[in-house]
Amino acid sequence: MKITDARVVVSSPGRNYVTLVIETEDGVTGIGDATLNGRELAVASYLSEHLCPLLIGRDARRIEDAWQYFYKGAYWRRGPVTMTAIAAIDVALWDIKGKAAGMPVYELLGGAAREGVMVYGHASGATLQDLSADFQHHLDLGYKAIRVQAAVPGLEKTYGIAPVDGKMYEPASGNVPQEDTWETSAYLDFAPKMMAHVRKEFGYGVHVLHDVHHRLSPIEAGRLGTSLEEYRPFWIEDPTPAEDQSAFRLIRQHTTTPIAVGEVFNSIWDCQQLITERLIDYIRTSVSHAGGITHLRRIFSLADLYGVRSGSHGAGDLSPASLAAALHVDMSIPNFGIQEYMGHREPANEVFTSSYTFKDGYMHPGDAPGIGVEFDEEAAARFPFDPKYLPINRRLDGSVHDW
């Protein structure tokens, strides 16, 4: 099954997405998501200039061989650009394999290990009252697990707060990065109050999650975890900058609050120590930034040996092709934990047609052959690329902090 064409489509239906389309001599087409928020064209160019030409003539059935060829063959290994490009190829090849077999990808991965995939949605508010209203909205939609973020009093802007116009939260904006301010002590005082508010209003019958977005030092994260223990969060996510794996030892020494991390990782080597030393509870690597279905499964298999569960990243900057691919993995692995689900801003659904479903807090990838997402290139052409950057954070003294 020879590959006859591989092309990259950059479009902006609600936000920027980079989509790889691979065609075979048999007329089977597969797609993969190559979006790297704020650095989209780097991956698009890496693919179209360097990898797509090498795909032509290769056998689309040999997924592992393609993975190794592009990973080891580059000599320059890992990194978000390389691994996002390899991920897009990998997912497109799994899509083709599923379509050729007439089966959804999760069947090829060993079949359903569960009936559905528990997902968490995002509730946020500029005030605790607004957060309550959004939390109730998510409960009404059927969510069993909800991430909570609220504006920190005294800070001009806080990560994760959706706009009041009802549009989905989207941090990338403007053709230069927006600058936010950060003050750790204000946040550390506020976070337990927010969690206390949510538990008082909604009780303990729903899972509550919170994202720290890499902003604390290890000892600050230990203090946060301790102060949240009585509210029993499902997890705190990204407590400290993720690349410092041994930092998590200190957090672990101080708190029993479960820890999740991994959306910025792009390979098993980024989380090897975290997993094998049992320093985290959930590994949140994404299918599109960590080398596709093939590599994500490798990470989750390692995690399974050490009692670490999956919690795949699923923000809106991962296209429906990524979400679908993640759901197929989620369905088939033994150590699934939870899946993030933000949905996608319109008009994304004019460009991507998905067979996945959401019901009563659970998602299912559907039974369409392949990953179950079709990409309409003509529709995509109506939404040209619109350059946008993720924000940066400055402390009150003006120095750059982790965003």
Ligand X SMILES: O=C(O)C(=O)C[C@H](O)[C@H](O)CO
208 counts as binding ligand X under rule CB under 6 A: no
Q: Which is nearer to ligand X, 58 or 313 (CB)?
A: 313
User: Least Å distance between CB 59 and ligand X?
Assistant: 34
Q: Which is nearer to ligand X, 62 or 401 (CB)?
A: 401
43 counts as binding ligand X under rule CB under 6 A: no
User: Least Å distance between CB 170 and ligand X?
Assistant: 9
User: Least Å distance between CB 282 and ligand X?
Assistant: 12
Binding test (CB under 6 A) with ligand X, winner from 118, 315, 351, 380: 315
Q: Which is nearer to ligand X, 10 or 96 (CB)?
A: 10
User: Annotated active-site positions, please?
Assistant: 159, 213
Q: Which is nearer to ligand X, 67 or 356 (CB)?
A: 356
Binding test (CB under 6 A) with ligand X, winner from 12, 16, 37, 288: 37
40 counts as binding ligand X under rule CB under 6 A: no
SS3 per residue for the chain: CEEEEEEEEEECCCCCEEEEEEEECCCCEEEEECCCCCCHHHHHHHHHHHHHHHHCCCECCCHHHHHHHHHHHCCCCCCHHHHHHHHHHHHHHHHHHHHHHCCEHHHHCCCCCCCCEEEEEEEEECCHHHHHHHHHHHHHHCCCEEEEEECCCCCCCCCCCCCCCCCCCCCCECCCCCEEEECHHHHHHHHHHHHHHHHHHHCCCCEEEEECCCCCCHHHHHHHHHHHHHHCCCEEECCCCCCCCCHHHHHHHHCCCCEEECCCCCCHHHCHHHHHCCCCCEECCCCCCCCHHHHHHHHHHHHHHCCCEECCCCCCCCCHHHHHHHHHHHHHCCCCCCEECCCCCCCHHHHEEECCEEECCEEECCCCCECCEEECHHHHHCCCCCCCECCEEEECCCCEECC
Segment 144 to 173, residues that bind ligand X, using CB under 6 A: 171
User: Least Å distance between CB 6 and ligand X?
Assistant: 25
131 counts as binding ligand X under rule CB under 6 A: no
Q: Which is nearer to ligand X, 134 or 237 (CB)?
A: 237
297 counts as binding ligand X under rule CB under 6 A: no
Binding test (CB under 6 A) with ligand X, winner from 340, 356, 364, 375: 340
Q: Which is nearer to ligand X, 71 or 336 (CB)?
A: 336
Binding test (CB under 6 A) with ligand X, winner from 33, 134, 281, 317: 317
Binding region for ligand X (CB under 6 A) out of 228-236, 270-278, 311-319, 372-380: 311-319
Contacting positions for ligand X (CB under 6 A) = 37, 171, 211, 213, 237, 263, 313, 315, 317, 340, 390
